[in-house]
Structure 1
Amino acid sequence: MFPTSFSRTVTVFHGRTAPEPGVLVGYGAVIEALQLAVPMPRDLALISAKRRQYHVAGWRVFTPRHAPADTLWAHLVFALKYEGLDLLFFNQLFAQLPAPTVEEWVRHAPQSRYARTVWFLYEWLLARRLDLPDLLQGNYVPVVDEHLQYAAATGVSVPRQRLRNNLPGVAGFCPLVHKSAKLEQYLARDLAGRAAHVLRGLHADVLVRTSAFLLLKDSKASFTIEGEQPAPIRALRWGRAIGQAGQHPLSHEELLRLQQLVIENSRFVRLGYRTEGGFVGEHDRQTGDPIPDHVSARWQDLESLMGGLLAAAAHLETAGYPPVLTAAALAFGFVFIHPFVDGNGRVHRYLIHHLLARQGFTPPGIIFPVSAAILAHRPAYRQVLEGYSHAVLEFIPWQKTADHNVEVLTDTSAYYRYFDATAQAEFLFDCVAYTLEKTIPQEVAYLQRYDALKAWLDERFQMPDKLVAVLIRFLEQNQGLLSKRAREKEFALLTPEEAEQIQQQYALHFLE
C-alpha cells in the first residue's frame, strides 16, 4: 500500500541543512516516503515559499509554481523534468510498483514524454514487457534530457515508445553524469586539443623520452597509491603494459591478463574473478571482525556485472560520449565492483588510460600519467571513492564469515550498475587537466633544458652520456652546486674554474 502524501516541509533532512525552510519534492520526497533503499540524490529539490529559484551545494530550490501535486506520479514527473534520470531509483521503485500501476499511467497520457520514459525504463531495466500496445504516432523524444545530463550522441530509435535511447550505457551497466558548471567548463577547454598543441613540434627523440618517463612515472605512482614500492623491473613491466593501453579491445580475458601482470606472484592470491566476498576496510584488532569502508559486489553477480561493463565499454566507443566521462564511468565502475581479490586499483587506473586512448583523447604514443595526478590529489581521490561506497553501504546486507570476510546476503548488483558518476567525472577531469597543464609541460621543459646543458657539456668536455647524467643528477640534488665529494671523486679531473662554469651553466638552464 503506497502512502497518500509525499511532500514534506523540511529544514534539515538526512544531515543536510536546507538553505531555507521549504517543501521537499521529487526524488528525495519519494525515497523518504517509500523508504527506498537508495542513496539520496546529489542535489535535493525544495519548493521555496519566497518565490525564488537557485542552486546551492546539495539543493536545488524552486518557486511555488513548480510544485507538483502530492501524488507519486506528479513527483516522478517533477523529478524527470527537473532532476534528470536516476536509474537506481527507478530500478528499486519498480521492484515495489505493480505493473498495472505503470500501465494505468501510460494509458492515461500515452503521448506524455514522461509516461513514455517511465514505460521504457520499466521494460529496459526489468527486461519485462508491460501489457501495452506499441505507440503508432508521436514525435521521437530522447530518454536522457541533455539539458540536465550527458547523453550518447548516437541515440537508437525505440519504436515501441517512440523514444530515442541516448543512454550512455546498456541495461547491464549505465552510470549517469549530471551536467555541472565544472564539467561544462572543462569540456569547453578542449583539453585533448591542448595536449596535441603542447606536443606538436617536439623533436621525435624528446617525444619518445617524454613518453618513456611518463610511463614509468605513472607506473610507480600507481603502486605507491596501493602502498607498495615495487622493484624497478616490476615498475618497468607495468609501465610497458600501460604503454599498450588502447591497443586491444576490453574483454574478460584482457582484464585477467592485466591482473596477472600486476600480481605476478600468484602463490598467495587466487587470480581471476572472486569466488568469495570482498571488502575494503579494516579488521577489528581483538575479534578480527571485518569493518568495511566498501563492500565489493557479490561474487555470484560478477559475471553479469562485468559483462554489462564490457558491453557498455563497447557501446561508448562509438556513441559520441565525452571520453573523460566514459573513462570515469567505466573505470570507477570497475573499482566499485572490485571483481578481483587483488589488483583492482591498478587495473582500474589502467582502464582510464585505455579508455582515453581508445577514444582518441590522448595523442598517439603518449600516455597521460593520470596515476601521478591522482597521487598528487590523493585526499580528493579517497573522497570520490568513499562518496560512493559510504552512500550505499547501509543498503548492502552482509554477514561475517568464518575466515573474517564478508558474505553479501542478497542481489545488490543494481548499486554497481546504476550509480551517479558526476563526482568521479569532475575528479578525473581535475587529474587530466593537472597532467596536461603541469606534468607534461614540466617534463618537456626539463628534457629541453637537459638537452641544452648536455650539448654545452658535449662541446666543452666531450663527456660520455652516462657521466653527464650523473653530473646533472648531482647538481639537482645539491641545488645547483657540485659537492666537495663529487669534485674529489667522480669529477676530480675538473679544475675549480671548470666546475664553476658548469654550475653557472646549470643555473642558466635550470634555475633561471
Structure 2
Amino acid sequence: MLHTSFSRFVTVFHGRTAPEPGTLVGYGAVIEALQLPVPLPRDIALISTKRRQYHVAGWRVFTPRHAPLDTLWAHLVFALKYEGLDLLFFKKLFAQLPAQAIEEWVRRAPQSRYARTLWFLYEWLLEQRLALPDLTRGNYVPVVNEQLQYAAVTGISIPRQRLRNNLPGVVSFCPLVHKTASLEQYLARDLAGRAQHVLRGLHADVLVRTSAFLLLKDSKASFTIEGEQPAPTRALRWGRAIGQAGQHALSREELLRLQQLVIESSRFVRLGYRTEGGFVGEHDRGTGDPIPDHISARWQDLDSLMNGLLAAAAYLETAGYPPVLTAAAVAFGFVFIHPFVDGNGRVHRYLIHHLLARQGFTPPGIIFPVSAAILEHLPTYRQVLERYSHAVLEFIPWQKTADHNVEVLADTSDYYRYFDATPQAEFLFDCVAYTLEKTIPQEVAYLQRYDALKAWLDEQFQMPDKLVAVLIRFLEQNQGVLSKRAREKEFALLTPEEADQIQRQYALHLVE
C-alpha cells in the first residue's frame, strides 16, 4: 500500500468531466488507488498543467507547484492542507493501513501538524493506542483547519499530540461542514439578530397571534411533506409540540415521546427504535422486491448511533458551533439514520426547531416555520436528502427479506456517523432565511393590516369579532368581493353602498 502509485492523469473521473486534463491528487487519488469504500469528495482535487488555481462545481484545480510527491504520506498531507478533514475516509483508510506506517511518519516528523493529526485521528477513530510516547514540546494546533471547515470554538486540549480537538462532535457522531461562500455570507448576515429586529416593538397580541399562525403553518406543512392531510386537532397537537421545542433536553425518552405524538395510534406501527431493517423507496410491482433510494442504518447499530447523535447534540449546544450548522448536522443525521419505523421525517424537522431554540437562535416564543419553507422548496429538499443517500448506497450490502424489507449484511454505522453535512447546512440556511425574510414579515404585516381593517369596521359598524372574521374570510375566498349570497344572508343588514365601501377598505388594507 505504501508503495502504490496514487497520482493519475484524468480527463473524466467516475462520470465527472474534468474542467481540463490534469493529475488526480489528494483524497480522490487515494480513494481510487486503494479502492476505499467511501463516496468521492464533493470537490475532487486536480493538478493543472497550467499555472492557475480555481474552483468549479465538483473540482478544485491547483497549479503544478502544489503537486505532491506520489506517496501516500504526501497525498494525505495535501488532502489535510487543501481539502480539509474527511473522517469517513480516514476510518476506512486506517482499517487497511498498518499502525507502523503512522508510527514511522510521526517518528520522522514529530513536530509536523499533519503527522500529529494523523496520529490523533488514528487513536481517536480506532480507539487504539499507538506505540509512541507523548509529545513534550511544540505549539498546540487545531485538528480542524478553520480556514476550510467549521469547528467547535471550545476545543479540548490533547497533551499527547499537543493538539486542540475542535471537532464539532464526538467520536460516535461527527459530521463536518466545509466553509463555502454561501454559508459565509449567511453567517455574516446575522439572521438571528434580524429576527429580533423584525419582531421588536410588536404589540404583544400581534406577537402571540403570529406565533400561533407559524406553529400551525409549520405543523401542517410537516405532515404535507409526508403526503398526509391530518385532522385539524392532530395538526394543532403537533403544532403545540413544536411550540415546546427547546424546553426539554434531548434523550431517547424524549424522542420516543415525540414519535408517539406524531403517530398517535400504534395499532399498525411499532413505536420505538426499529428492530428490523428499513429503507426509503419503492417495491417492484411484480415481485414486491424492495427498490431502495435510501437504506436506513442497521437496526443493531441504532443504540450506538443514536447515543452518539444525542451526545454530539448536547456537546454542540455549548461548543460555540453555529446553531444552523448544529441543526443541520443533527437533524439530517437523524433522518439518515432513520431510527423509527414511522415518524422520522416529522421528528427530524422538530429537531431543527429544538436545536435552533436551545442555542438561542430563535427568539423566545417564536419558531421559524422551517417545514413550510421546505414545502416551498420540496424538490431541492429531496435532492439534498438523495445527495447523501445515493452516494453511500453502493457501499451498503443488503439482501431482501421474506416480508419484502431489507437486511443490512455488515456494520455500516460509519456512513451515518461521518458524513459531509455541507449541502444540508446550505439548504437549511436557505430555509431559515426564507422564513425570516418572507414568511414572518408577511404574517406580521398581514396581522397589522387585519387589525387596521378590524378597527375601521368596529368604528363604522360595531361588528363583533366573530362576524369580522367571517366577513374577512368571505372576502379572501372571493378575491375581495362580497358575494351575492353573503350580501343576502350573513350580511343582509348591510346596504349595497356599505358593502361596496367594505370591499374598498378591504382592497386598501389587505390586498397587496
Please confirm whether the aligned pair reaches a TM-score higher than 0.5, indicating the same fold.
yes
Quick one: distance in 2 between partners of 1:41 and 1:484? Answer: 64
Question: What does residue range 30-429 of structure 1 map to in structure 2 within 5 Å?
Answer: 30-429=30-429
3-state SS in 1 of match to 2:24: strand
1:101 positional shift: 1.0
Contact 2:279–2:293 (Cα < 8 Å) also in 1? yes
The offset of 1:3, in angstroms, is: 5.2
Q: What letter is aligned with 1:405?
A: N
Conservation of the 8 A alpha-carbon contact between 1:53 and 1:61: yes
Give the Cα separation in 2 of the matches to 1:160 and 1:15: 43
Normalising by structure 2, we get a TM-score of 0.99
Distance 1:41 1:152 in 2: 22
Residue type at the aligned position of 1:439: T
Q: What is the CA–CA distance in structure 2 between the aligned matches of 1:449 and 1:3, rounded to whole Å?
A: 73
- The amino acid across from 2:43 in the alignment is D
Does the 8 A contact of 2:4 with 2:33 survive in 1?
no
Query: SS at 2:105's partner residue?
Result: helix
Deviation of the 1:331 alpha carbon: 0.2
Tell me the residue number matched to 1:450.
450
Q: 2:494, 2:257 → 1: CA distance?
A: 52
- Residue identity in the other structure for 2:159: P
Which amino acid in the other structure matches residue 419 of structure 2?
F
Gaps of 5+ in 2: none
Kept after mapping to 2: 8 A contact 1:144/1:167:
yes
**Residue in structure 2 matched with residue 430 of structure 1 by the alignment:** 430
The residue identity in structure 1 corresponding to 2:25 is: V
* Matches of 1:401 and 1:105, distance apart in 2: 47
The question of whether the paired residues in 2 share the 8 Å contact of 1:317 and 1:359 is answered with: yes
- The alignment covers a number of residue pairs equal to 512
C-alpha deviation, 1:120, in angstroms = 0.3
d(CA) in 1 for partners of 2:277 and 2:95?
25
CA–CA separation in structure 1 for the residues paired with 2:311 and 2:92: 23
Q: For structure 1, which runs of at least 5 residues remain unmatched after alignment? A: none
**In structure 2, how many angstroms separate the alpha carbons of the residues matched to 1:64 and 1:409?**
44
What amino acid is the match of 2:163?
L
Question: Using the alignment, how far apart are the partners of 1:2 and 1:107 within structure 2?
Answer: 16
Tell me, yes or no, if the aligned pair for 1:222 and 1:371 is still in contact at 8 Å: yes
1:154 and 1:320 in contact (8 A); partners too? yes
Contact 1:3 1:34 (8 Å CA) reproduced: no
CA contact (8 A) 2:139 2:162 kept: yes
Query: How far 1:192 moved relative to its partner?
Result: 0.4
How far, CA to CA, are the matches of 1:224 and 1:480 in structure 2?
28
Partner of 2:351, secondary structure, is helix
Could you tell me how far apart the structure 1 residues matched to 2:100 and 2:12 are? 36
* Mapped partners of 1:156, 1:4: distance in 2: 36
Q: Any conservation in 1 of the 2:3–2:71 contact (CA below 8 Å)?
A: no
The residue that corresponds to 2:441 in the other structure is: 441
SS at match of 1:6: coil
Provide the secondary structure at the position in 2 that maps to 1:47.
Answer: strand
* 1:156-204 Cα shifts (integer Å, max 9, x gaps): 1000000000000000000000000000000000000000000000000
User: What secondary structure, in the 3-state scheme, does the structure 1 residue paired with 2:399 have?
Assistant: strand
- The 3-state SS of whatever aligns with 1:51 is coil
Higher mean alpha-carbon deviation, 2-11 vs 298-307, is at: 2-11
State the distance in 2 between where 1:10 and 1:484 align.
73
Q: 2-side partners of 1:135 and 1:495: how far apart?
A: 91
1:241-266 C-alpha deviation (Å, 9 max, x unpaired): 00000001100000000000000000
* Alignment partner, residue 17 of structure 2: 17
- The CA deviation at 1:477 is 1.2
Deviation, 1:2, is 5.1
SS in 2 for 1:61: strand
* CA distances 1:320-379 after superposition (whole Å, capped 9, x unpaired): 000000000000000000000000000000000000000000000000000000000001
Cα distance, 1:44 vs. partner? 0.4
Root-mean-square deviation (CA, aligned residues, Å) is 0.6
**Deviations, residues 42-70 of structure 1 (Å, cap 9, x unaligned):** 00000000111011111100000000000
Identity of aligned residues (%): 89
Alignment partners' CA distance in 2, 1:151 and 1:334: 20
Aligned to 1:28: 28
Contact preservation (8 Å) 2:273, 2:340: yes
Helix, strand or coil for the counterpart of 2:12? strand
Give secondary structure in 2 for the equivalent of 1:12.
strand
| 1:294-338 per-position Cα deviation (integer Å, ceiling 9, x unaligned) | 000000000000000000011001100000000000000000000
**What TM-score comes out, normalization by structure 1 length?**
0.99
Cα distance in 2, alignment partners of residues 502 and 347 from structure 1: 44
Matched residue of 1:351: which SS?
Answer: helix
Structure 1 contact 3–33 (Cα < 8 Å) conserved: no
